[in-house]
Homo-oligomer: A and B are copies of this chain.
Amino acid sequence: MTEGTDRICAFSDGVFAIACTLLILEVRLPPGVEGSLWSALVALWPSYLAFAFSFFVILVTWTTHHDLMRLVRAPDPPARLAHRGTLLYVTFLPFPTAVLAEHLGGPQMSTAVAFYSGTFVFGSAAFNLLVAALERGHLFRPGVEETVRKIRRGYRITFVTYVAATLIALVAPWLSLAINVAMRVHLLRIPYRPAPEVDTRARRLAP
């Protein structure tokens, strides 16, 4: 039954890889630039920043997704639906990134950052639903209970943080972005590696 997981992971990898590569299509010089090209390139800093940030968000999400799916035997229909929600979020991300790039440092930055951060609320909700569906269906591999418990708690904290960051964006957009960055650094540190038992088995199988 791991066939299903493998295929879903390969498909998801494709979606993640495409989504992060498409981001660059939103970085473009305004048509008909007059004056110095150098100034025009420098003036694009919000686009670079938004591009780099969303790029790292997608890669961190990919790692998270990867580490989570390694713990799963096979998804059932509700888990598949939740999983599609996570992919919908990743696929959608280039749009709020473009909105952010256009308004970073501008008068409507609050709205742009709230919209951007709100996308993460949606994405985090999808991941929380996915874990809930996997738990309800008893679809995790045996021996990873402790890891799953940590992931679940980590995801809940993440969700609350994104909600807070979205609200904070309305009054302090730069602070909101900083919280988002800090969250990703934190996410990469959640130790949701497989439990020792699984690790041992993997080590035995390795050449």
Which residues of A are in contact with B by a Cβ distance under 8 Å?
1-3, 7, 10-11, 13-25, 27-29, 36-38, 41, 51-52, 55-56, 59, 62-63, 66, 77, 80, 84, 87-88, 91-95, 98-99, 102-103, 108, 111-112, 115, 188, 202-203, 206
Contact A28 B98 (CB under 8 A): yes
Residues of B within 8 Å of A112, CB to CB, are 37
Contacts of A14 in B (CB 8 A): 13-14, 17-18, 21
Tell me which residues across on chain B come within 8 A of A202, comparing CB atoms: 1, 3
Which residues in B have their C-beta under 8 angstroms from that of A103?
A: 37
17 more contacts with CB within 8 A, not counting A21-B22, A21-B91, are A1-B202, A1-B203, A18-B22, A22-B22, A23-B91, A25-B25, A27-B95, A28-B98, A36-B108, A36-B111, A37-B108, A38-B108, A38-B111, A51-B92, A56-B84, A59-B84, A77-B188
**Nearest B residue to A201 by beta-carbon distance?**
B207
- The one of B2, B13, B206 that contacts A7, using a Cβ cutoff of 8 Å: B13
Do A55 and B88 have beta carbons less than 8 Å apart? yes
Chain copies in the assembled complex: 4
Q: A1-B202, A77-B188, A91-B55 are in contact. Are A18 and B18 (CB under 8 A)?
A: yes
- The one of B2, B20, B25, B56 that contacts A15, using a Cβ cutoff of 8 Å: B20
- Indicate if the CB atoms of B25 and A22 lie closer than 8 Å: yes
Instruction: Tell me the bound Cα distance from A84 to B1 in angstroms.
Output: 28
Complex CA distance for A20 and B77, rounded to whole angstroms? 20
| Cβ distance A135 to chain B, nearest Cβ, rounded Å | 22
Instruction: Flag if B24 contacts A94 (CB, 8 Å).
Output: yes
Q: Which 10 A-B pairs have the closest CB atoms?
A: A14-B17, A18-B21, A37-B108, A37-B111, A27-B95, A15-B17, A38-B111, A24-B94, A21-B91, A59-B84
Inter-subunit contact B95/A24 (CB<8 Å): yes
A21 touches B29 (CB 8 A): no
